[in-house]
Structure 1
Amino acid sequence: MSDKEKEEFYIKFKERLENTTEFPSDYTYKFIVPTDNKRLAEVQRVFDGARPQFQMKESKTGKYTSVTVVVYVLDADQVIHYYQQAASVKDVMML
């Protein structure tokens, strides 16, 4: 995805968030991460200081781990900020 496409995606996503979510509120993020302690720690670091609640579950094969994170956010910009930070973790899939 090009930088322009990413920018357009986040603009539309912000509009949808503002139309469907009342802020401030708890927001649930879901990720699929290769089961690797380093990558899992990187995802956790994205939310440092946010007092997140994590739930992790390995796939049946153990190859991947689903990560659910609940964080109290103030606005749509903060939601997007965490998604953008998580996108920098190698091989993370955002749901």
Structure 2
Amino acid sequence: MAENNSDAFYSKLREQLSATSTWPSNYLYKFIVLSDQEKINSIHKIFDNMGAVIESKKSKNGKYTSVSITVNLKNPDQVIEKYKEVGAIEGVISL
């Protein structure tokens, strides 16, 4: 994703989160990643010590793993910060 496209995406996401939620609020992240335990562990580490509820589920053929994370965050900026941290892991798709 080009830098200016991601800036526009995050700006719009910040507006939507501000308009639709009262903060602090629980937020549900959903990611898809190749079933590589190292990458899955990297996602888990980003949400360490935050009281996050993390569920992982392998696809039918086991090639991919979906990772759902529910965590209580202070504001939309914190939501975006976590998306950016996870986005730095190669091959992770954010839903």
Q: Give TM class, smaller chain.
A: over 0.9
CA RMSD of aligned residues (A): 0.8
| CA deviation profile, 1:36-65 (whole Å, cap 9, x unmatched) | 110100111111221211111100000001
2:5 aligned counterpart, secondary structure: helix
Q: Which runs of 5+ in 2 are unaligned?
A: none
TM (norm. structure 1) is 0.95
Gaps of 5+ in 1: none
User: Which portions of structure 1, spanning 4 or more consecutive aligned residues, are displaced by more than 3 angstroms?
Assistant: none
Aligned residues: 95
- The residue aligned with 1:30 is 30
Comparing 49-58 with 61-70, greater Cα deviation is found at 49-58
Matched, 1:81 2:78: no
d(CA) in 2 for partners of 1:90 and 1:53? 23
Q: Check if 1:92 corresponds to 2:92.
A: yes
Q: Name the % identity.
A: 37
The one-letter amino acid paired with 1:7 is: D
Determine the structure 2 residue equivalent to 1:40.
40
